[in-house]
């Protein structure tokens, strides 16, 4: 479902950051700004949240110094870098790998392109929403993007941005086929660790 915000005169598909900040998530919904419109999505399910937290922890344990994995964080994308008060997009990746400076106290949202953004897919996600967010990420300069299903059969697909062809699949991971990656950062992706609680 889409809800239009007032569009700034002379700036097509842009919304003032102050107007955006005044909005709050309705009960059972989660708001994102895509192409200058507010999109209301169903709130994540408990399984979605559990898998997202476990995958973020799995990534975070392997990241080099200076990078962290965060969950359900807003990424504010302005019309242009010189006009940070006018936003065209404010997606909320389920997981983002970002520079540690982006999560210091007092920072309300991401403003830099993440190293990696991950979307967890559920049956309630429409094809239009998935493709819209993939397009937003590509336009914003994201180089690495991953999606993971959250049903009984987990599967993660890693994509790399290509200026001529869009998103190119680089790896496919299941609980039975872990993958070692060199890019975007050295990682071992092992989905079997998400199915059972990892204890110290």
Full domain range(s) for residue 122 = 44-73+91-195
- 152 within some domain: yes
Position 7 in a domain:
no
Span 126-170, pLDDT tens digits: 677 788 899 999 999 999 999 999 988 899 999 999 977 899 999
Say how many domains are in the chain: 1
**17: Cβ contacts below 8 Å, ≥ 6 apart:** 76, 78, 84, 85, 86, 87
CATH assignment of the domain containing 107? 3.90.1570.10
**Does a structural domain hold residue 52?**
yes
The position carrying tokens 């609980």 is 175
Does residue 22 sit within a domain?
no
Give this prediction's pTM. Answer: 0.88
Encode pLDDT of 59-69 as tens digits. Answer: 999 999 999 99
Is 128 domain-assigned? Answer: yes
Distances (CA, A) of 82 to 38, 79, 87, 108, 183: 23, 8, 11, 19, 31
């Amino acid at each position: 479902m889409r809800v239009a915000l007032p569009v700034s005169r002379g700036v097509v598909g842009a919304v003032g950051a102050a107007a955006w900040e005044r909005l709050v998530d309705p009960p059972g919904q989660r708001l994102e700004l895509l192409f200058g419109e507010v999109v209301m999505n169903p709130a994540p399910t408990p399984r979605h949240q559990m898998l997202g937290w476990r995958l973020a922890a799995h990534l975070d344990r392997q990241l080099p110094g200076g990078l962290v994995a965060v969950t359900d964080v807003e990424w504010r994308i302005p019309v242009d870098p010189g006009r940070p008060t006018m936003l065209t997009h404010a997606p909320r990746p389920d997981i983002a790998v970002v520079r540690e400076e982006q999560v210091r106290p007092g920072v309300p949202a991401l403003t830099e392109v993440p190293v990696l953004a991950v979307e967890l897919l559920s049956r309630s996600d429409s094809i239009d929403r998935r493709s819209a967010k993939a397009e937003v990420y590509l336009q914003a300069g994201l180089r690495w993007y991953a999606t993971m299903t959250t049903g009984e059969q987990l599967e993660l697909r890693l994509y790399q941005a290509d200026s001529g062809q869009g998103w190119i699949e680089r790896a496919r991971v299941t609980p039975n086929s872990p993958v070692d990656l060199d890019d975007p950062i050295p990682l071992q992706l092992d989905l079997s660790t998400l199915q059972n609680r990892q204890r110290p």
